[in-house]
Amino acid sequence: MRSYECAVILHPAVSDDGLKASTARYVDIINHAGGEITRVETWGKRRLSFEIMKQPEGHYFFYKFRGAAKLVDDRDLKYVHPPRKDSIGACSAPYGPAHVEVRDASGTVVATAKTEATNHCWVTGLRPDTEYTYRVVVKDAEWAAGERWDWSSTEQALVQMGARYDNRFRTHPDPQTQSPLTFAVIGDFGVGVKTTSTRRRQQQVADALRHAVDREGVRLILTTGDNIYATKKLFGIAVSASGDEDDDWFFTYFQPYRYILNRIPVYPSIGNHDADESEACDDRTQVEDNFYLCERLAGEEAAGRASFRPGLFYRFRYGSDIEFVCIDTSKEAFFTRDRLFVLPKHWEFLETSLTGSADGVRWRLPFAHHPPFSAGPRHRNTKSMARLLPLFQRSGVKAMFSGHEHNFQHSQHEGIDYFVTGGAGRTRPEPPDRFDAAHTSSWSSACHFLLIAIEGDQMAVRAIGEGVTDASALSDIVRYGRDGAEVAAPMLVRKARA
| Spatial contact of 162 and 152, defined as CB atoms under 8 Å apart | no
364 within domain boundaries: yes
**What are 427's strand-pairing partners?**
none
Q: Classify residue 79: in a domain, yes or no.
A: no
Question: What pLDDT shows up at residue 2?
Answer: 81
Q: Do residue 347 and residue 242 come from a single domain?
A: yes
Last residue of a domain, one of 173, 192, 213: 173
What is the model's pLDDT at position 342?
A: 94
The answer to whether residues 88 and 243 touch, using CB atoms and an 8 Å cutoff, is: no
Structural domain of 369: 174-494
Question: What is the three-class DSSP state of 79?
Answer: helix
Check whether residue 153 and residue 269 sit in a common domain.
no
Euclidean distance between CA atoms 40 and 7, whole angstroms: 10
CA distance 441 to 413: 10
User: Is 182 exposed, middle or buried, given 0-12, 13-18 or 19+ CB atoms closer than 10 A?
Assistant: middle
Buried b (16+ CB within 10 A) or exposed e, 456-478: eeebebbbbbbeeeeeeebbbbe
- Residue 245 in any domain: the answer is yes
DSSP states along 44-60: EEEEEEEEETTEEEEEE
Residue 80 lies in a domain: no
Nearest to 287 by CA among 264, 308, 262: 308
Q: How far is CA 222 from CA 17, 147, 184, 265, 419, in A?
A: 57, 28, 6, 9, 13
Indicate the number of domains in the chain.
Answer: 3
pLDDT of residue 234: 43
Are residues 285 and 364 part of one domain? yes
Is 73 within the bounds of a domain?
A: no
Question: What is the 3 state secondary structure string of 16-28?
Answer: HHHHHHHHHHHHH
Q: Bridge partners of 10?
A: 59
Q: Which pLDDT value is given to residue 18?
A: 93
- Shared domain for 278 and 350, answered yes or no, is yes
Beta bridge partners of 46: 58
Write down which residue in 123, 157, 173 finishes a domain: 173
Amino acid at 212: A
Q: How many whole angstroms separate alpha carbon 406 and alpha carbon 233? A: 19
Give the integer Cα–Cα distance in Å for 384 and 29: 52
Phi-psi region of 8 (alpha: psi -120 to 50; beta: other; left: phi over 0): beta
Q: Tell me if 98 is assigned to some domain.
A: yes
Q: Is 454 exposed, middle or buried (0-12, 13-18, 19+ CB in 10 A)?
A: buried
**In a shared domain, residues 264 and 330:** yes
The predicted pLDDT at position 231 comes to 63
End position of a domain, from candidates 173, 208, 239: 173
**Which residue type occupies 355?**
T
Residue 138 sits in a domain of what CATH number? 2.60.40
- Per-residue pLDDT at 498: 53
Distance CA 447, CA 465 (A): 6
Is position 410 within any domain? yes
- Provide the pLDDT for residue 235: 40
Residues 331 and 235 in one domain: yes
117-154: b (≥16 Cβ within 10 Å) or e: eebebeeeeeeeeeebebebbbeeeeeeeeeeebbeee
In a domain, 415, yes or no: yes
Q: Does 204 lie in the same domain as 156?
A: no
**Do 185 and 224 meet the contact criterion of CB atoms below 8 Å apart?**
yes
Question: From the first residue on, what is the mean pLDDT of each consecutive set of 10 residues in the chain (498 residues)?
Answer: 89 94 89 89 93 92 86 82 87 94 98 95 96 96 94 90 96 96 97 90 96 96 92 50 77 96 97 76 85 93 93 96 97 73 96 88 97 97 96 97 98 98 95 97 98 97 84 88 96 82
Task: Please provide residue 207's backbone torsions phi and psi, each rounded to the nearest 5 degrees.
Answer: -65, -40
In sequence order, what DSSP letters do the residues of 94-114 get, joined into one string? PSS-EEEEEE-TTS-EEEEEE
Same domain, residue pair 32 and 118: no
DSSP, collapsed to helix, strand or coil, labels residue 258 as: helix
Identify whether residues 324 and 188 lie together within a single domain.
Answer: yes
